[in-house]
Structure 1
Amino acid sequence: MLTRRLFGQTAALLAGSAALPALAADVPEILPIWPGDPPGGEAVTVQEQVVERAKDPAALRDRYVQHVRRPTLTVFRPARPNGTSLLMAPGGGYKWVVMDKEGYETAARFALAGITVYVMTYRLPADGWAAGPATPLQDVQRAMRLVRHLAPGRGLDPARVAIMGFSAGGHVAGCGTLMFDRPAYRPIDAVDAVSARPDLALLCYPVASMDPAIAHAGSRKELLGEAPTAAAQTAWSLEDQVRPDAPPVFLLHALDDASVPPANALRLMEALRAARIPVEAHLFEEGGHGFGLRFTTGKPVAAWPDLALGWMKRKAFI
């Protein structure tokens, strides 16, 4: 359960509680992505659970959701919304979905800039869902449509809906960016009449390619199985799905990332440039993998939120 401690934790990472009044509520709103059971769950038997892996949760929480059954959006509302919505997909190697490090902490940081942030959980392809590797795509398409559908009623601009993803969540967000109109599920209601195309995409140390030469082996296995076909690798490699109507993309990666090779971001950048999609890329000498906000202290990579917000400002989203 989210409590006031979440904001105190984020404020500490942002250097002071003075930032807190810029947030509209201490306890964020939680919305279901689907109006009932998600599609294709007839054979799913796993049980959703939240796991705390921090040694001292009272000091700094570090949770993840395993075996997601009911995907949600946790909403971080700024006190003075600027009209922009941001759908955020944390990482977890397609084995789980991180809550704090690449979710709530980062969401609070971007909400302080006036952006209304929706942190999503998404279902995991190895849990037995009928759609297999398209399961997270179903969730991100539906989530994007829901965020856009809700925008006018919340005083937000439905033409300023961005997406951000981290690590495997970068692959989820990248699929949402490049496969936004791929038929992934049967329409349910008025939400599904809305476009699922994001207007901007920010991909942070993303799992992008399924090419075994550069892929994150764990994410590739969880998404496609032990021995995927060449056709499956191509179908789920972001660099092979770039299209001329993709939105502008912001890429972030550390060159010392020992988990997801920087070649993922570099190869995607080249594909975007070849398609003449506006792209900005930031590569840092140090940072490793999964740094979020909490593992950037004393490193140049600590500048990444300001670089991302500056890019969004130049695109008139702030």
Structure 2
Amino acid sequence: MKSLFFGLLLSMTFSSSFAQEIVLPLWEGTPPLQTDMGLEEKAVEQGIIRIENVQIPQIEVFLPSKQSRTGQAVVIFPGGGYHILAYDWEGRDFAKWLNTQGIVGIVVKYRLPDSKSLTDGKEVPLLDAQRAIRLARHHANDWQIDPDKIGVLGFSAGGHLASTASTQYEHEVDRPKDAIDALPARPDFSILAYPVISFRDASAHSGSRRNLIGENAPQELIDRFSGELNVTEDTPPTFLVHAQDDKGVPIENSFLYYKALHAKGVPASLHIYPTGGHGFGFGLGKGPVSGWREVLLDWMQSLESGQ
């Protein structure tokens, strides 16, 4: 990437000595699979910040102080049924919390497939996810990230995107390429919180499926975007968390993905809590599920130690 990214990196860095926040566009110029129609993004705060109709996808990078960085980074995909992004609740808030653990948090404002400006909406979220992971590797030296310790974290539909990025990291679409595209897009680990996984039958979250692939999608597309059908031996180690009383995304989604991972010999950790509902985020005030982040940190540390 030329002077645009470098200039934005400098201009959006609030401090060179302390914790930093950096905003970078995912793409130079008009993003791939998009036409410039003059559409505008919409952001509304209703308890949480909800973003619709993303036109300029970007990453917002939260850096801990240099002396506390562990080398790990987590690329975060907020949920919202592929229609909105719960941008602070399942994005910025988690990035800031990760910073307290010395982990770089990278929030992705990815494009949503129902925007009229997209030429092939179903391909765009994965395309943006791959780009975000590659950008993290591109800037690994600048941000003191180990390029082999970059994971993904996704919530609900963002969990679907994280699982798709973890199983279809080699998927490509016909578009212009640059030097960043030569970097690997495979995450080194995956964290999936109450994720949409399957688009098949009773396990499907109908809103996410409809918004991504349409109401009457062919079986080929349903299967392609059902994560449990695409797990291989090379799928990254995965942490899953779900509440038993989730009435938004059936708990079977996490079961299906865990079963597929186990069948392929991929290290996986599945954590089920009796209550918490859907979209519990940090889980504060929701009983035992409020401790899920500490369990996650133990798991991430076990990755570091190779246990």
State whether TM-score is above 0.5.
yes
The match for 1:69 is: 55
1:136 paired with 2:129, answer no
Q: Alpha-carbon deviation of 1:45? A: 5.8
- Specify whether residues 160 and 45 from structure 1 end up closer, same or farther in structure 2 by C-alpha distance, changes over 3 A only: same
Structure 2, unaligned stretches of length 5 or more? 1-16
The match for 1:39 is: 32
| Cα distance per residue 1:6-39 (max 9 Å; x no partner) | xxxxxxxxxxxxxxxxx943x7221111122111
**1:137 and 1:284 mapped to 2: Cα distance?**
29
Query: 1:255-266 counterparts in 2 under 5 A?
Result: 255-266=244-255
8 Å Cα contact 2:94/2:105 also seen in 1: no
Look up the equivalent residue of 1:285 and give its one-letter code. P
| Cα distance per residue 1:131-164 (max 9 Å; x no partner) | 2211101000111101111102322211111111
Look up the equivalent residue of 1:34 and give its one-letter code. W
The match for 2:184 is: 195
Look up the equivalent residue of 1:66 and give its one-letter code. E
8 Å Cα contact 2:245/2:277 also seen in 1: yes
Give the ranges of 4+ consecutive aligned residues of structure 1 lying more than 6 Å apart after TM superposition.
none
SS at match of 1:30: strand
**1:235 and 1:257 mapped to 2: Cα distance?**
25
**2:153 and 2:195 mapped to 1: Cα distance?**
10
1:83 paired with 2:76, answer no
**2:32 and 2:25 mapped to 1: Cα distance?**
14
The match for 1:108 is: 96
| Cα distance per residue 1:65-86 (max 9 Å; x no partner) | 1000111111111112111111
The match for 2:8 is: none
1:153 paired with 2:139, answer no
**Greater CA deviation, 119-128 or 274-283?**
119-128
**Greater CA deviation, 38-47 or 260-269?**
38-47
TM-score, normalisation: structure 2: 0.90
Q: Alpha-carbon deviation of 1:112? A: 0.5
SS at match of 2:114: helix
The match for 1:126 is: 114
Provide the alpha-carbon RMSD of the alignment. 1.7
**1:78 and 1:313 mapped to 2: Cα distance?**
17
| Cα distance per residue 1:267-288 (max 9 Å; x no partner) | 1110111111110000000010
**1:298 and 1:124 mapped to 2: Cα distance?**
30
**2:55 and 2:153 mapped to 1: Cα distance?**
22
More RCO (CA 8 Å, sep 6+): 1
1:52 paired with 2:52, answer no
Residues matched between the structures, number: 287
SS at match of 1:74: strand
**1:283 and 1:143 mapped to 2: Cα distance?**
29
Query: 1:1-318 counterparts in 2 under 5 A?
Result: 24-25=18-19, 28-42=21-35, 46-54=39-47, 62-79=48-65, 80-128=68-116, 129-293=118-282, 295-316=283-304
Look up the equivalent residue of 1:275 and give its one-letter code. K
**2:153 and 2:123 mapped to 1: Cα distance?**
19
**2:162 and 2:173 mapped to 1: Cα distance?**
15
8 Å Cα contact 2:52/2:84 also seen in 1: yes
SS at match of 2:202: coil
**Greater CA deviation, 302-311 or 39-48?**
39-48
Q: Alpha-carbon deviation of 1:238? A: 0.3
**1:249 and 1:72 mapped to 2: Cα distance?**
25
8 Å Cα contact 2:160/2:227 also seen in 1: yes
8 Å Cα contact 1:137/1:184 also seen in 2: no
**1:266 and 1:211 mapped to 2: Cα distance?**
14
Q: Alpha-carbon deviation of 1:42? A: 1.9
Q: Alpha-carbon deviation of 1:224? A: 1.1
8 Å Cα contact 1:160/1:317 also seen in 2: no
8 Å Cα contact 1:84/1:317 also seen in 2: no
8 Å Cα contact 1:208/1:239 also seen in 2: yes
Look up the equivalent residue of 2:60 and give its one-letter code. T
SS at match of 1:154: coil
